[in-house]
Structures are given as structure tokens and as C-alpha cells.
Structure 1
């Protein structure tokens, strides 16, 4: 942060009460309040969406508004304004206004990342910039919203059970495959599937002796929620990778790893969500493998040697001494 006073305002927020596990302490990246609101909008109830939309449409005006003025302008209650700050991970309304001021002061230095504003026949260079920045924001916002305690708890489950079922549908399915592959490489017997019946059969095969990881952007897919409930009923730890900490999936899970990404308009179903999910995958597996660093390094060397007969030598200066290049 450039401003120590602003750092104190935007700094660490600890949300108390029964839902505190869903809203962990976090640090908000500077100048990302507008991106944060866009990323979290789809997971908010209607009253909070009205406040969010007003803030996104009139950020300059909101900087000078009181809580009651914003509530009146957005046709919502003052409680809704406070609730919005809590849901997006801000310590209060002053932090929201301070964050907006930072965003607005820097908006001239970069184009908007609102992918919904991509117009017909938009310039390809502008689209490249907007899409790249939406991916960047997805990574930054997901990183700041991840709860280290939840990551540690999930890793402990995987270390103890050494068995995992990874379930995802549609565009999240490739992320499930990636996670399962990485878990196998880390010594965890993992199966990725989009088949609810297979997942349920595996849960019955390992009741309470595996981890069930469900990846769902919205957290409201019926199959995902039903499977989570089955897992919980059998005593299986259920880990949800999702964007909404109050979704049905999150409420059915024992642990929640939250993602944040903005997809709308022509980008609906785009890759920002996948970028956010893949960040969670890499963080989770990396933390898992750090438990016994020396053993993991040795295992990686053995695996590298195992596949070395199928690797072609690299030509040019990067080739190791004494290794013939394929141009010789």
C-alpha cells in the first residue's frame, strides 16, 4: 500500500459470528475494490445487488455519500450497505469508500476490466487488455480471499486419508482433472469425475476415509449439492471450491475454498473462473507437498528419471553438456 493510513482502513477484517468461517481475515489488494464488487456480484442476494450496481455505476458519487444516502439512492436499507461490505470482505463502509477513491485515482492509468462492456467490432488490442486484466483480477482477488487455515485443514485431511474424489461439471471439469492429476503426483489416490453415480459409489467404497472435493463456480448445481449432502451424511469431509460462501454447496461443505472472478456478457463461461480455480488447485497441492519437503524433492527426481527415456534432447545452448542435439 502507498498510504499507511489507507492500509489501516483497508487492512485486515475479521468477521465475527456464526458465519465467520465463510469470511476469513484477508488483505484487500490496493485499487481492486471495483473489480472485487464485480467479481462478487453474482453471489449476492437482490438487495445487495442493488447496492453493488449503484456503486459500480456511480463510484465517484459514492465516495462522498453517507451510508444512509447510498441506501436511499440504491433503494435499499442501511443494513444492506453494511451487509455488502461484510460479504465482499471489507471491514466497513469507510473502507469501501476509501477503496473506491484508490480505484478512481488509478483508473486513468489502465482501461476498465468490465468485460461486459466489450462492444460489437471492438478493437482486438482493447479486448486483449480487458481479458488479460480480468484474469489478473481473478487471480489477485482469489488469492486475497483464500483462508490459510482452510487450506491447511484440507491438506491435513488429504494427508490423513490419502484418498480423494474430485467432482465437477461442465467447464469446471478440466480443473477437476488437473487437481486429481496433481494429487496423484503428490501421493494421494485421486479420481476426477463428472458422474454423480460414480462419485456416490466411491463415497460408499471409502466412507469417511477420503476427501470429497467439489468444484462449482456458483455453488447451486443440484448434483453438486446433493453429492455434498451424501458425503456429509457418511462422515466424509466435503471441500467446496466455489465463489459464494453462502451458497447451498458451501453450507453443505465442511470446508470452503473461495474463488473470485467476473464473467458476464460475451465472457460468460469464460476462463477467468477457471484461472481462479486453478490458483486454488496449485496453492492446495503446493502446501500439501511442503509437509515433507525432502521426501517430495526425492520423489520428483525419481519421477523425472522414470520419464526421461521419452524426453527428446533440447537443441542449442540449453542442452546439457555432452547431450547431442536433434540437429546433429
Structure 2
């Protein structure tokens, strides 16, 4: 059980001042809190005891003991945490290669610590049983939706993604109870994606979200909210690391479904590969 420090870093900007005091103390002195009571942490951090309880809720943990367990799990990994770095003026090509690659690798590692296997399993089950799958996303997240559409189509799962936001909304109000809608938005606040999932739920379809960790409007509309980690800012705000983590989650869902239907998935993949090879010679 780990991921406590990752969760705290992800939600830091969304916390109240009192909660933030506690979170920043835990991030700065993670070893110290393992033997602290709520009262002791309150005194040391300057945050109230009520703020500690609220912080646990914001993190998605059941209480302070679970928070400490997750932090302890992070510390027991015995590996130095890589800190995200920005590209700076005058960086050499070698530095750019190393920085971009290391940022992406760390984003995926952090995402692994906050993905809930039970929720992922339920999402895979929903996708496996779906009559149709609709992937919704705008901007960079639309590229993820297209990738997902392509992957699931190759294992004969009827799926759709749209470049036109109006078509996204139109399709969302036409869904049926046997369908699944997947909303993709790093911020979790993309208006069109929120509305698509809201309408999909109203139609009785199951909904899955892929967003950054924490409370947000997109995940609030999801039956199965899935979270990624990627601290985007400055140059990386161009959806770089977050794109990699979203693609990673899509791959997990895709392979989860393919694994459950292994024989027929392999058969469909061979058929699609053969027709493409026949036409392209590759």
C-alpha cells in the first residue's frame, strides 16, 4: 500500500490553507508522521485536527491510519524520488532527451501508485460487456480518444471517437444502457466532456473517466473514475507527461479486455494485421 505522497502532491493546489499546511508538512517530513497522532501532526504542521480529517477525505483514504500506511509504503520502496524538471534555455540535446524521458517515466510510475486495481477491473468488465464504446476528449485528450478507438476496434469492440464536439454531444444523448462512455480530460474540468458523461449516465450507459488525481467535475460523473499523475506546468503544460499517462491507462484497459477475451482478440488482431500487410506490404 503506497501512493500517499503522490496523492498529496497531486491535490496540493486544490486544498484549503489549513489542509495545505498539513500536506506540505507530510511531504517535507514523511518519516516524522509515522509515529504521530492526529493531535501531534496538528501541532507540528500548524493545521487543525479537522483539517487532517478533511485532508484524508480529499486524498480518497478512509482515515489517518490509512494515510500513514500509504506514506510508509512510499518510504519502504527505498528509491530516491525523481523530481520533475523543466526544459531550460540553452539545454543541450542530451539534457532535453534525458529530461523529457525521465519526466514521462516518473509520471507513469506515479500513476501506478494511485490507480485502484479494483476500479480498473470494474472498468475493464464494463468495456468487455459493452455493446458500444464512446471515447470523449478535446484537444490533446482527443488524441488519446482516437488511440483508444483504434485499439478497441482492432479487437472487434464497436467504438467511436469524434473530432467535432457537437457530434460528441449528439452521440452522448443517443446512448443505451448497454453502452459505455469514456471521458478523458487531464484537468477533469473540460465542459464538453463533463456534459457528455452527464448525458450518457442519464441514458443509462456506464461511464468511465480518466483525469488527474483529485476531486473534479468529470470524475464526479463517472461510475468508474480512473486517475493519472502528472504535474503539468510551464512548458510541460502542453500535455506532455499527462498524455503519456493517459495512453498508459488506455493500454491497461485495452489489454485488460483483450486478456479476458484472449482467443477471439488474437483472432481479430491477426485478421486486421493481415489485411493491412496485404495492402501496404508491411
User: Which of the five TM-score ranges fits, normalised by the shorter chain?
Assistant: 0.7 to 0.9
* Aligned 8 A contact 2:34 2:72 in 1: no
- Equivalent residue in structure 1 for 2:83, among 113, 118, 134: 113
RMSD: 3.2
Judge which range, 233-242 or 80-89, deviates more. 80-89
Q: How does 1:184-199 map to 2 (within 5 A)?
A: 184-199=153-168
* Aligned 8 A contact 1:162 1:187 in 2: no
**What is the rounded CA distance, in whole Å, between the counterparts of 1:246 and 1:147 in structure 2?**
15
- Runs of 4+ in structure 1 deviating by more than 6 angstroms, as ranges, are none
For 2:52, the equivalent position in structure 1 comes to 81
Consecutive unaligned residues in structure 2, runs of 5 or more: none
Please state if 1:257 is matched with 2:226: yes
* Aligned 8 A contact 1:37 1:88 in 2: no
**What is the rounded CA distance, in whole Å, between the counterparts of 1:152 and 1:92 in structure 2?**
22
For 1:142, the equivalent position in structure 2 comes to 111
- Alignment length, in residue pairs? 278
Report the 3-state secondary structure (helix = DSSP H, G, I; strand = E; otherwise coil) of the residue aligned with 1:115.
Answer: coil
Q: 1:201 to 1:128 in 2, by over 3 A?
A: same
For 2:12, the equivalent position in structure 1 comes to 41
Please state if 1:203 is matched with 2:175: no
Q: 1:44 to 1:181 in 2, by over 3 A?
A: farther
Q: Deviations over 1:12-37 (max 9, x none)?
A: xxxxxxxxxxxxxxxx27xxx65554
Q: How does 1:61-100 map to 2 (within 5 A)?
A: 62=32, 66=36, 67-68=38-39, 70-72=41-43, 74-85=45-56, 87=59, 91-92=65-66, 94-95=68-69, 98=72
- Equivalent residue in structure 2 for 1:223, among 188, 192, 214: 192
Report the 3-state secondary structure (helix = DSSP H, G, I; strand = E; otherwise coil) of the residue aligned with 2:230.
Answer: coil
**What is the rounded CA distance, in whole Å, between the counterparts of 2:105 and 2:60 in structure 1?**
18
**What is the rounded CA distance, in whole Å, between the counterparts of 2:218 and 2:245 in structure 1?**
18
For 2:257, the equivalent position in structure 1 comes to 288
**Shift of the alpha carbon at 1:189?**
1.7
* Aligned 8 A contact 1:135 1:272 in 2: yes
**What is the rounded CA distance, in whole Å, between the counterparts of 1:64 and 1:147 in structure 2?**
23
For 1:239, the equivalent position in structure 2 comes to 208
Please state if 1:179 is matched with 2:145: no
Larger radius of gyration: 1
Q: How does 1:42-61 map to 2 (within 5 A)?
A: 42=13, 44=15, 46-56=17-27, 58-59=28-29
* Aligned 8 A contact 2:6 2:114 in 1: no
**What is the rounded CA distance, in whole Å, between the counterparts of 1:100 and 1:218 in structure 2?**
25
**Shift of the alpha carbon at 1:73?**
5.4
Q: How does 1:121-140 map to 2 (within 5 A)?
A: 121-122=90-91, 125-140=94-109
* Aligned 8 A contact 2:33 2:41 in 1: no
Q: Deviations over 1:34-89 (max 9, x none)?
A: 55543443555554334334444x34785688454554554422343354456165
**What is the rounded CA distance, in whole Å, between the counterparts of 1:221 and 1:239 in structure 2?**
15
TM-score (norm 1): 0.71
Consecutive unaligned residues in structure 1, runs of 5 or more: 1-10, 12-27, 314-328
TM-score (norm 2): 0.81
**Shift of the alpha carbon at 1:115?**
2.4
Q: 1:247 to 1:162 in 2, by over 3 A?
A: same
**Shift of the alpha carbon at 1:304?**
2.0
Report the 3-state secondary structure (helix = DSSP H, G, I; strand = E; otherwise coil) of the residue aligned with 2:111.
Answer: helix
**What is the rounded CA distance, in whole Å, between the counterparts of 2:69 and 2:253 in structure 1?**
30
* Aligned 8 A contact 2:178 2:205 in 1: yes
* Aligned 8 A contact 2:185 2:210 in 1: yes
**Shift of the alpha carbon at 1:263?**
1.5
